Structure 1
């Protein structure tokens, strides 16, 4: 049994490690930088060997799904597998998503083949859809049919405000994947609401793309300068007490009581080991979280 903390993923009943693994970086260009099949396999096996039991990917993450199938399908019983639909199989992430029933089925069938599995634990809409979008062309109904066929177990959505409000209120989704970090607390309120309604909460962007080495990229409507500015204005370095910025960010994120797992992607084994080490130290103390939030409130990093 892993010594990484586990939490129940909402009403699904699934027990997930509080640190999950986002597999986009293993898919290669254009979604991520180049990595070989062998190196991707080393990372995926190291993820499982570390005790992480939650892996998240998507149809449009290049060769990510195929590499999961090749490298760890023989270890399928060791991990919970989540992917995303609406993407068009064989096309890059920049290609417009399609939410017809035919494309939803094609995506799920593609994921099953690529990852060499008989079932998917979670399938999430990749876009933050409105009700009219998931109803008009049968997208949700098709996922429900696939669930009845035993090809998937639970349904979710990778969402953002304002559509998250409608998604949570609909009551049809078992899990939500939501962006959240110390520097991007805009979704704090809706995360709590979704959790209180019984949904599982998967956090993405928990280290805001690397705090600060990768802040040159835009993430959830914020530029790197804005992310860096929030950190500096809040004077968060004064709260580190020997921690690295990355450790602080990771531990701040898992201090959110509604969080069930946070997915952090990397293709660097040292980064993976550091993330696991940070998680094993547990959440930040309540006093540090309270002070960090007080400082961050004035920077714009506060609940919407």
Structure 2
């Protein structure tokens, strides 16, 4: 059950648990959230060794919810026992990558999250703004890093080529990124991130985070959110995979999480959205199966995974376009 020793935060090296708590779900976009769930989920995450929490000003009141929980839990889990990952540049009203807004955003996030520093700050969804905008925002973040306000600077986004290009620009400018966050590119229907591991490392990106092994709620038994960019044909393929797993006494979400965990040696952590404590426990159980080499160890699981891959074959490594998900 031990995902981390919850040691004091080491400023030189990220010692995050292999599972990170994705707090975007607190926005209510993926499914309704009961009032008591966030506190229960975060508490259970701490109990099971999860020590990293990912959020953003864009995720409605996710930062405020997390901050209020950290205040409640501070006697048992002080700030030195966990990492905070948040973002700048994307907000409910617009994108604003200006240095002034970046600095203000960091201060706002610190206030909301009840902290005087942030472990990781990403430029959020870099594909929707110009490279020059990203460059200016990153310069400001690195200045804040020098001041000790931020420990690690990175970028997040969907198109891998965009993440790689910006990483190359930063490397050429002798200010390489510390970390990148990719989502929905290391899951049952898309493993393209795996082919980029060495490319990012060659540009001195030391930490790669994989987010959303459930592909933003696509790989689950209930229907994905209405806003999900997956086309009808992909949704139908997933629905067939869901039924196949269920008919064999298995759960598509647990299979998807186990599949993504198979790449853990190349990842600093995997961000999974947790609506409630039960979901935390299910993911940790999947992680423990991996630790015991029990993932896809039964003939039934192996057979179902093979059949799911056949169902998904027309959609393997297909990515939706930028216009589909903004």
TM-score, normalised to structure 1, is 0.81
Change (3 A) 1:228 1:21: farther
Match of 1:97 among 95, 100, 111: 95
Q: CA deviation at 1:31?
A: 7.9
1:177 alignment counterpart: 181
Partner of 1:187, secondary structure, is helix
Q: Deviations over 1:58-95 (max 9, x none)?
A: 0122221122222114222221110010134xxx3xx2
Partners of 1:224 and 1:215 lie apart in 2 by: 11
Q: 2:269, 2:100 → 1: CA distance? A: 31
1:200 match: 207
Matching of residue 300 in structure 1 with residue 315 in structure 2: yes
Displacement after TM superposition at 1:190 (Å): 2.3
Task: Indicate if the aligned counterparts of 2:4 and 2:51 stay in contact, CA closer than 8 A.
Answer: no
After TM superposition, the structure 1 = structure 2 runs for residues 1-304 of structure 1, keeping only pairs within 5 Å, are 3-4=2-3, 13-28=13-28, 33-36=32-35, 38-73=36-71, 74=74, 75=77, 76-88=79-91, 92=92, 95-129=93-127, 130-135=130-135, 138-161=136-159, 162-170=161-169, 171=171, 172-179=176-183, 180=185, 181-195=187-201, 197=203, 198-208=205-215, 209=217, 210-219=219-228, 221-223=229-231, 225-229=233-237, 232=240, 237=245, 243-256=250-263, 257-282=265-290, 284=295, 295=310, 298-302=313-317
Q: Distance in 2 between matches of 1:281 and 1:214?
A: 26
Distance in structure 1 (CA, Å) of the matches to 2:152 and 2:67: 20
TM-score, normalised on structure 2? 0.76
Q: Unpaired segments of 5 or more residues in structure 1?
A: none
Q: Can you give the 5+ residue segments of structure 2 that lack an aligned partner in the other structure?
A: 6-10, 320-326
- 1:15 partner SS: coil
Distance in 2 of aligned mates of 1:189 and 1:299:
19
Task: State the alpha-carbon separation in 1 of the partners of residues 198 and 261 from structure 2.
Answer: 13
What do you get for the CA RMSD once the two structures are aligned? 3.3
Change (3 A) 1:145 1:293: farther
Question: In 1, Cα distance between the equivalents of 2:242 and 2:40?
Answer: 38
Number of aligned positions between the proteins: 288
Which deviates more, 250-259 or 184-193? 184-193
Distance 1:231 1:254, change over 3 A: farther
Distance 1:235 1:42, change over 3 A: closer
CA contact (8 A) 2:188 2:309 kept: no
Aligned mates of 1:296, 1:173 — CA distance in 2: 37
User: Secondary structure at the residue paired with 1:156?
Assistant: strand
